[in-house]
C-alpha cells in the first residue's frame, strides 16, 4: 500500500511537470489521473487496489458523523427532560479486535455514539467498559456496538 | 449571493450555540460525574465543531482558505473522547459514587477480582 | 441583522460559560471540576470563533489551535495526576 501511494504521488508530480504549471490544482488533477491509471493496471501489479481501503475509511467517517449527530439529539432529549428518571449503568462489552490501534478507535467511536461513553479497559484489553446513560436492554446495546462498529473497523484494518 | 452565505453561517452558529448551551445545562443538571461526561464529551464538541465550520465557511466565501480552522476541528474530534475517558476513569478509580438509580455496574466486579489477586 | 444574531449567540455562550463556572465552584468531586473546566476550554474556542466572524479577522486562528491543544493536555494531566499521583509513568 505505501508503494502504491508513492507511485500515485510520482504520477501526480509528473503530470505537474508536463503541464509546466506548479500549482495545487494541477497536483490534485494529476493525482486523480494517477488513481485512474492505477485502477486500470491493477491486474498487472498483483496487489489489491488501495482505494478499496480508502473507501472503507470514508464509510467509517460517514458512520461516525451520523452517529455523532444522533448522539447529540439523544443528549438534548435527556438533558431537557423535565423529570430525570433515566437509569444509567456500566456494561462490559467484549470485543474481537486485537491491535491497540483498533481498540482505541472503537473506544473513541463508542464515546461519540448515542448514550454511551467508554470508561475503562480490562487488563487484557479485550473488554471495554461502557457507561450508558439509559440501559433498558443490556443485550441489545452490546449487540448494537458489536454489529455496527466492529464490522466497520475490521473492514478498514483487516 | 453574499446574503445566502451569511444566512448559512448564521444557521450554523445558532445550531452550534444551541448544542453548547445544552451541554452547559446538562453539566449543571445531571446528577453524577459519569452522566455529566456525556453532556461535555458529545454536545460541547459537536457545538463547537458547528461554530468552527461556520467560521470556515465565512472565510471561504471571502476567498481565504483557512486550514488552521480545519486543523482545530480535527483536534477537537480526536481529543474529546480521550478527555472524557480519562476523567471518568480517574473518577471511578478514586471512588466517586454512581447516582442512586444506576441499574448495572459490571466494572465493580473487575476491580474486586483485581484486588483479590493482588492480596 | 447578521451581527445581531452573532451578538445574541455570544451572549448565550456567556451564559453557558457562567453555568459551567457554577459547576466548577460547587462540583462535589474534583473530577466534576475538571470536567467543567474542560468544557469551558472547549466553549472558549467557539467563543473566539464567533469573535473571528464578528470582527472579520483571521488572526485569532492560532489562538484557537493553541487553546484546543492546551485544554486537552491540561485535562489529561490533571486526571492522570488524580488517578495515580504521577503524571508521567516509568516502567520500572
Q: How far apart are CA B95 and CA B90, in angstroms?
A: 9
Predicted local confidence at residue C86, as pLDDT: 65
Kindly list the residues from chain A whose CB atom is less than 8 angstroms away from the CB atom of residue B75: none
What local confidence, expressed as pLDDT, does residue B106 receive?
Answer: 67
Among A75-89, C19-33, C34-48, the least confident range: A75-89
A7 and A74 both lie in a single domain: no
Q: Which of C29, C53, C61 lies at the smallest CB-CB distance from B91?
A: C29
Higher per-residue confidence, B12 vs B32:
B12
Across A56-85, b (16+ Cβ under 10 Å) vs e yields beeebeebbeebbeebbebbbebbeeeeee
Which cell is A91 given?
Answer: 456494561
Grid coordinates representing B56 are: 470556515
Examine the domain organization and report whether A70 and A25 are in the same domain: no
Task: Give pLDDT tens digits for B26-70.
Answer: 888 887 888 888 888 888 888 898 999 888 888 888 877 777 888
Q: Is the pLDDT of residue B118 over 60?
A: no
Q: Which pLDDT belongs to residue C15?
A: 92
Residues of chain C neighbouring B40 (CB-CB closer than 8 A): 35-36, 38-39, 42
Question: CB contact, 8 Å: A84 with chain B?
Answer: yes
B34/chain A closest Cα distance in angstroms: 7
- Residue among C71, C49, C72, C79 at smallest CA distance from C62: C49
Contact status of C33 with chain B (Cβ, < 8 Å): no
Q: Are residues A62 and A110 in the same domain?
A: yes
Q: Kindly report, residue by residue over C29-80, the tens digit of the pLDDT.
A: 888 888 888 889 889 988 998 998 888 888 888 888 898 889 889 988 888 8
Same-domain check for residues A78 and A14: no
ipTM of the complex: 0.84
Range of the domain at A97: 51-157
Residues of B in contact with A63 (CB under 8 A): none
Q: Do residue A67 and residue A138 come from a single domain?
A: yes
**Cβ–Cβ gap B27/C83 under 8 Å:** no
- A48 in reach of chain B (CB within 8 A): no
Chain A partners within 8 Å of B78 (Cβ):
108
pLDDT digits (tens, 9 = 90+) for A90-114: 878 787 777 777 788 888 888 877 7
Which chain B residues in 80-99 lie under 8 Å from chain C, judged by CB atoms?
Answer: 80, 82-84, 86-91, 93-94, 96
How far apart CA B72 and CA B27 sit, in angstroms, is: 23
Query: Which chains have 3+ CB pairs within 8 A of B?
Result: A, C
User: C63 touching B, CB under 8 A?
Assistant: no
List of residues 6+ apart from A52 with CB closer than 8 A: none
Give pLDDT, residue A30. Answer: 85
* A95, A146: one domain: yes
Q: What is the largest CA-CA distance in chain A?
A: 68
Tell me how many degrees the CA angle C79-C41-B34 measures, rounded to the nearest 5.
Answer: 45
- My answer on whether A18 and A81 are in the same domain is no
Q: Is B18 exposed, middle or buried (0-12, 13-18, 19+ CB in 10 A)?
A: middle
- Which among A84, A87, A117 is the top mutation candidate for probing chain B, defined by the most B β-carbons within 10 Å of its own β-carbon? A117
A59 and A9 belong to one structural domain: no
The shortest C-alpha distance from A64 to chain B (Å) reads: 10
- Is B33 within 8 Å of C9 when comparing Cβ atoms? no
Residue C18 pLDDT level (bands cut at 50, 70, 90): very high
- Please list the alpha-helical segments (H only) found in chain A: 2-19, 24-40, 42-45, 51-80, 100-111, 138-145, 151-157
| Chains B and A touching, counted as 3 or more CB pairs less than 8 Å apart | yes
On the CB side of A70, CA atoms within 13 Å amount to: 13
Q: Where residue A46 falls among pLDDT bands split at 50, 70, 90?
A: low
What residue segments make up the domains of chain B, in order of their start? 2-118
Q: Are C53 and C13 in contact (CB under 8 A)?
A: no
C80 — contact with chain B (CB < 8 Å)? yes
A65-69, A97-101, B77-81, C11-15: least confident range: A97-101
Q: Is the pLDDT of residue C87 over 70?
A: no
Q: A16 and A77: one domain?
A: no
Task: Phi first, then psi: give them for residue C86, nearest 5 degrees.
Answer: -130, 160
Residue B109 makes CB contacts below 8 A (sequence gap 6+) with none
Q: In this predicted structure, what is the pLDDT of residue C11?
A: 92
| Distance from the first to the final alpha carbon of chain C | 63
| Number of residues written out for chain B | 119
Same domain, A17 and A71: no
Residue closest to A142 by CA, chosen among A123, A120, A119, A116 = A116
> Has residue B110 got a pLDDT over 70?
no
Looking at the fold, whether A103 and A128 belong to one and the same domain comes out as yes
Q: In Å, what is the CA distance from C87 to each residue of A115, B94, C31, C74, C80?
A: 30, 16, 16, 11, 6
Binding partners of A (≥3 Cβ pairs within 8 A)? B
Q: Across all residues in chain A, what is the average pLDDT?
A: 78
Question: How close A86 comes to chain B (CA, Å)?
Answer: 8
Between residues A129 and C85, the one the model is more confident about: A129
| Residues A66, A133 within the same domain | yes
Amino acid at each position: 500500500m505505501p508503494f502504491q501511494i508513492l507511485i500515485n504521488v510520482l504520477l501526480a508530480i509528473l503530470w505537474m511537470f508536463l503541464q509546466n504549471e506548479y500549482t495545487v490544482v494541477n497536483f490534485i488533477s494529476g493525482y486523480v489521473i494517477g488513481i485512474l491509471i492505477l485502477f486500470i493496471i491493477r491486474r498487472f501489479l498483483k496487489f489489491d487496489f488501495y482505494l478499496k481501503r480508502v473507501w472503507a475509511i470514508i464509510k467509517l467517517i460517514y458512520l461516525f458523523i451520523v452517529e455523532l449527530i444522533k448522539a447529540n439529539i439523544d443528549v438534548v432529549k435527556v438533558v431537557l427532560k423535565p423529570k430525570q428518571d433515566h437509569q444509567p449503568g456500566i456494561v462490559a462489552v467484549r470485543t474481537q479486535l486485537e491491535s491497540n490501534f483498533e481498540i482505541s478507535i472503537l473506544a473513541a467511536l463508542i464515546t461519540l455514539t448515542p448514550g454511551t461513553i467508554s470508561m475503562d479497559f480490562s487488563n487484557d484489553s479485550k473488554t471495554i467498559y461502557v457507561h450508558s446513560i439509559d440501559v433498558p436492554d443490556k443485550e441489545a446495546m452490546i449487540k448494537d456496538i458489536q454489529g455496527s462498529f466492529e464490522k466497520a473497523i475490521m473492514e478498514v484494518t483487516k | 449571493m453574499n446574503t445566502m452565505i451569511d444566512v448559512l453561517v448564521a444557521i450554523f452558529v445558532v445550531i452550534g450555540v444551541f448544542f453548547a448551551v445544552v451541554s452547559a445545562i446538562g453539566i449543571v443538571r445531571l446528577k453524577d460525574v459519569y452522566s455529566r461526561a456525556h453532556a461535555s464529551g458529545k454536545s460541547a464538541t459537536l457545538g463547537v465543531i458547528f461554530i468552527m465550520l461556520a467560521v470556515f465557511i465565512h472565510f471561504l466565501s471571502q476567498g481565504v482558505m483557512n486550514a488552521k480552522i480545519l486543523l482545530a476541528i480535527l483536534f477537537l474530534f480526536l481529543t474529546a473522547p480521550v478527555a472524557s475517558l480519562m476523567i471518568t476513569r480517574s473518577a471511578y478509580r478514586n471512588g466517586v459514587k454512581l447516582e442512586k438509580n444506576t441499574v448495572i455496574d459490571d466494572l465493580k466486579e473487575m476491580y474486586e477480582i483485581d484486588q483479590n489477586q493482588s492480596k | 441583522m447578521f451581527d445581531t444574531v452573532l451578538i445574541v449567540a455570544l451572549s448565550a455562550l456567556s451564559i453557558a460559560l457562567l453555568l459551567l463556572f457554577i459547576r466548577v465552584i460547587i462540583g462535589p468531586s474534583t473530577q466534576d471540576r475538571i470536567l467543567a473546566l474542560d468544557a469551558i476550554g472547549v466553549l472558549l474556542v467557539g467563543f473566539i470563533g464567533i469573535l473571528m466572524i464578528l470582527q472579520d479577522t483571521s488572526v485569532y486562528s492560532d489562538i484557537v489551535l493553541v487553546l484546543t491543544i492546551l485544554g486537552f493536555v491540561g485535562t489529561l494531566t490533571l486526571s492522570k495526576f488524580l488517578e495515580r499521583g504521577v503524571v508521567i509513568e516509568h516502567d520500572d
